[in-house]
Structure 1
Amino acid sequence: MTATHNIICIGSVLWDVIGRAPNHLSVGSDVPGRITRLPGGVAMNIAMTLRRFGLVPALLSAIGEDEEGRELVATCTRMGMVTDYIYRSADLPTDRYMAVEGGNGLIAAIADAHSLEAAGAKILTALEDGRLGSAKAPYAGPIAIDGNLTEELLQEIAKSPLFANADLRIAPASPGKAERLQPLLGHQNGTLYVNLEEAGLMCLSTFETSRQAAEALMARGAHRVLVTNGGEDATMATPGTICCQTPPPVMVTRVTGAGDTFMAAHIAAELRGDSPDDALSAALKAAAVYVSGETPL
């Protein structure tokens, strides 16, 4: 029997292999540290944070039927996520992400999400075959989407009747994939979560503040945006409304997953009825706690 969910997370669900060292690193650094393998991917990171806030996410992704895939699905299920709708393939390996972090932040990362890209629209099957919705009765709840999907699939989602009634929450996945989100920028129910660099890439410009970036994205047709800028002010913008807040100061011990934590915490706050100001404050606090290393991995 399928468990009841209250949000859908669409995108990358994979294994994160993260190497961390306290030293400041540069090209060619060879230092002692810790290497961990954890469930990851943008959709998975968002889903894990949603679980910490008591929500139950259903995952729509592509995971192989290999040993790594079976272990990953079992782990997601144990964590309380709905895995019934994941596209499983015997021909595609389970995706992976590898990163190196030092005391000076993220040094380098490689995302091997080729299976998710190869699966394409197959991961959306449950939204059209009646299990989660259909073209005649589209899903009407919140859906988090990450930019690891192909540009073609994101274009399809932007105009698809399957998403006409959904509360879309959209994340780029990385600066290199921010421009993929252009088709979703003007979605009537879309909320875009980006950092300052990603906002600049989407606007073909550079910005000094999150407010400038948010205003530029709104001018390009965005329905609602949240722009973060590390430890500087973050901005939430809707037509006619701008809200800026500064995150709590903390010692940064990790960065991978911070944006996903911010997004998930904001969604959770809004779903429990927080005001716009309170929801932004809750998201900034959750992200600050995460980067300080206080949130359990």
Structure 2
Amino acid sequence: MKDTPDILCIGSVLWDVIGRSGAHMRIGADVPGRITRIPGGVAMNIAMTLRRFGLTPALLTSVGRDAEGDELVAECARLGMITDHVYRSEDLPTDRYMAVEGANGLIAAIADAHSLEAAGGKILRPLEEGGLGRPGAPWRGPIAVDGNLTESLLAEIARSAAFATADLRAAPASPGKAERMLPLLDHPRATLYVNLEEAGLIVQGRFDSAQEAAAALAARGAHRVLVTNGGRAAAEDGAFGARTAAPPEVLVTRVTGAGDTFMAAHIAAEWRGESPDEALHTALRAAADYVSGDVPS
């Protein structure tokens, strides 16, 4: 494995506990299914997809010095990620995410990323103290950031000299954390990846299409934004022009991690030199393959 990362993934790295059933489910449903525990979190999901496309990511996150944390860090390293810069807390437990999915999609989810939030700026020290950057010589490559970071830390990132030359890519992590993206909305080097609901929450509006939402975010000052809308057309607007594309039609077998897969595949496509139109199609295909179950968790 390479010692030098191609990209930094900053945000949640935790254990995903996911219950899936082939039945349509409503609130209060009690049905048979399967429960799995796999490495997850937005930063982790992005890193795993980047690995599938041949990039080497480094993780900047908080993981507890508990048994679950030791197991998680070991699994990240086995998957080909650089874990040397992970902040290991003595007193904070390893974070977890729990979701229930049915044939009709995501039923409910809870993200327990309190340790990441409590660690705060400690996870960024490698960018400031020489591990990955230092004053006067900041990191110059791509950085993927997720909305499990607090709004105050995202605001710090938006104005920090440590990120001034980076190709910054950001996603909210969930609709409930969409408004945390506000400090990055008008960042001159940030690309935002959101779904239709998240776009509406960021600008306090309602949209009927991804194209309409992307245009509204660009009008509000977004340098570049990509908006997905499930199985409907996705859209891009901003610095590289406006475009839309429809995802392939597939049978949906899972949804958790689909947006992360889209974002990572798009980053990887542009890393390979694909045009904006090509990169959008590549990302939609990768996300479709993921939700159909053709890509392993």
Normalising by structure 2, report the TM-score.
0.99
Which residue of 2 is the match for residue 285 of structure 1? 285
Distance in 1 between residues matched to 2:233 and 2:62, nearest whole Å = 36
Distance in 2 between residues matched to 1:51 and 1:110, nearest whole Å = 26
Task: Determine if the alignment matches structure 1 residue 16 to structure 2 residue 7.
Answer: no
Task: Determine if the alignment matches structure 1 residue 139 to structure 2 residue 151.
Answer: no
Mapping of residues 1-297 of structure 1, within 5 Å = 3-239=3-239, 241-297=241-297
Percent identity over the alignment?
A: 70
- Number of residue-to-residue matches in the alignment: 297
Distance in 1 between residues matched to 2:12 and 2:6, nearest whole Å = 19
Does the 8 A contact of 2:224 with 2:240 survive in 1?
no
Give 3-state SS (helix, strand or coil) of 1:3's partner: coil
- Matched to 1:243, the amino acid is R
Cα deviation code 1:180-204 (max 9, x no counterpart): 0100111111000000000000010
- Matched to 2:45, the amino acid is N
What stretches of structure 2 of length at least 5 have no aligned partner? none
Give 3-state SS (helix, strand or coil) of 1:241's partner: coil
Shift in Å at residue 2 of structure 1? 7.7
Cα deviation code 1:14-34 (max 9, x no counterpart): 000000000000111111100
Distance in 1 between residues matched to 2:278 and 2:181, nearest whole Å = 27
Shift in Å at residue 42 of structure 1? 0.2
- Matched to 2:191, the amino acid is T
Shift in Å at residue 137 of structure 1? 1.0
Does the 8 A contact of 2:143 with 2:167 survive in 1?
yes
Cα deviation code 1:121-171 (max 9, x no counterpart): 000000000110123111110000000000110010011111000000000
Shift in Å at residue 239 of structure 1? 3.8
Give 3-state SS (helix, strand or coil) of 1:191's partner: strand
Distance in 2 between residues matched to 1:2 and 1:248, nearest whole Å = 34
Distance in 2 between residues matched to 1:231 and 1:80, nearest whole Å = 31
Does the 8 A contact of 1:2 with 1:84 survive in 2?
no
- Matched to 1:21, the amino acid is S
Normalising by structure 1, report the TM-score.
0.99
Superposition CA RMSD, Å: 1.0
Give 3-state SS (helix, strand or coil) of 2:242's partner: strand
Distance in 1 between residues matched to 2:79 and 2:58, nearest whole Å = 12
Distance in 2 between residues matched to 1:112 and 1:128, nearest whole Å = 27
What stretches of structure 1 of length at least 5 have no aligned partner? none
